[in-house]
Amino acid sequence: MTKAVIINGSNSRNSRVTAIHEKVENYFKTQGIEVHTNYVHELPAEDLITANFASEVIILENKRVEEADIIVLLTPIYKASYTGILKTYLDLLPQKAFHRKIILPIAVGGSIGHLLALEYALKPILAVLGATTISHSVYIVDKQIIRLEDGSFAIEDEAINRLDVELKQLQQIVLVN
């Protein structure tokens, strides 16, 4: 069975990134892909900040990455880059943790002006972690994700369509490998 890990670098489960996270997770489940989520902000802060490679929680999360076929990295864009929360976890991964994994970077940002943050800030660290199969990044402007009165989210069709294209492409890559 194909396994996926979603590494969510947001600082809350109540952010617009959550809407995209849920869309990706639901897609995987409908395709019969086993999915695990790593909400980085819920990992022990001391282990992240002190780079505690011996932490049982970090070891378990790294094991899930090791066993996964697909890695989805989700992050809001702050200050023209991915979050520091995400970086603290990426620093705890083994040197070639993303080798032979299919990677899909997804970001939500305040304006189209931060579109290249994925290309110039996130993709280099993915390469250092051994990633050789990186799908086209998906960047979504936060205005395309509307928070509804009941607390749920609605995503504009244009953003959903771009995300769906990449998710389907991921599935094709998995079938080939």
pLDDT tens for the chain, 177 residues: list them: 899 999 999 999 999 999 999 999 999 999 999 999 999 999 999 999 999 999 999 999 999 999 999 999 999 998 889 999 999 999 999 999 999 999 999 999 998 888 888 999 999 999 999 998 999 999 999 999 999 999 899 999 999 999 999 999 988 887 776
pLDDT at residue 112, as a whole number: 86
pLDDT at residue 171, as a whole number: 81
Question: What is the Cα 158 distance to its own chain's centre?
Answer: 20
Find all residues with CB under 8 Å of 73, minimum gap 6, and list them: 7, 9, 82, 86, 103, 104, 105, 106, 122, 126
pLDDT at residue 177, as a whole number: 66
pLDDT at residue 116, as a whole number: 87
pLDDT at residue 60, as a whole number: 98
| Rounded Cα–Cα distance for residues 26 and 63 (Å) | 23
| Rounded Cα–Cα distance for residues 72 and 50 (Å) | 25
pLDDT at residue 156, as a whole number: 97
